[in-house]
Amino acid sequence: MYYIQKRMEVAGCHRLQLPYPSKCSQLHGHNWIITVFCKAQQLNESGMVVDFTAIKERIQQMLDHKNLNEVFDFNPTAENIAKWVCDQTPHCYRVEVQESIGNIAIYERE
């Protein structure tokens, strides 16, 4: 089995739809650190699991310097963003979305 990991930074803003009072319900920004984990039993014709540049271009093109409430039709929590990134990336089995130094959401396929 081959494993790769791609780490990137994405700047953007969002506001969360929450059923309780929270400062996160106001528009605010983060410099998210997104780490994508992929695996494959066979390498592609270029000798890769997935091209690192292709992962970065796809995710950053969609998210970087954007209002995520305008990008997604779901509540843009770190957890939901992690699942979305996983769904966008071939051979992805795990995504970590670090919203701040102490807040990390992880999505992992079973």
CATH of the domain at 90: 3.30.479.10
Inform me whether the pLDDT recorded for 33 exceeds 90: yes
- Tell which residue, 83, 34, 80, has the closest CA to residue 60: 34
- pTM for the whole structure: 0.94
Inform me whether the pLDDT recorded for 110 exceeds 90: no
Question: For residue 32, what pLDDT band results from cuts at 50, 70 and 90?
Answer: very high
H-type alpha helices, the chain: 52-63, 68-71, 78-88
Domain residues for the domain of 6 are 2-108
The domain tally of the chain equals 1
Give mean pLDDT, residues 76-89: 98
Inform me whether the pLDDT recorded for 103 exceeds 90: yes
Q: Residue 31 corresponds to which amino acid?
A: N
- What angle in degrees, to the nearest 10, is found between the helix axes of 78-88 and 52-63? 130
CA–CA distance, 38 with 34 (Å, rounded to integer): 13
Mean pLDDT of the chain: 97
CA distances (Å), origin 58, targets 8, 22, 39, 49, 89:
11, 31, 18, 16, 8
pLDDT of residue 65: 97
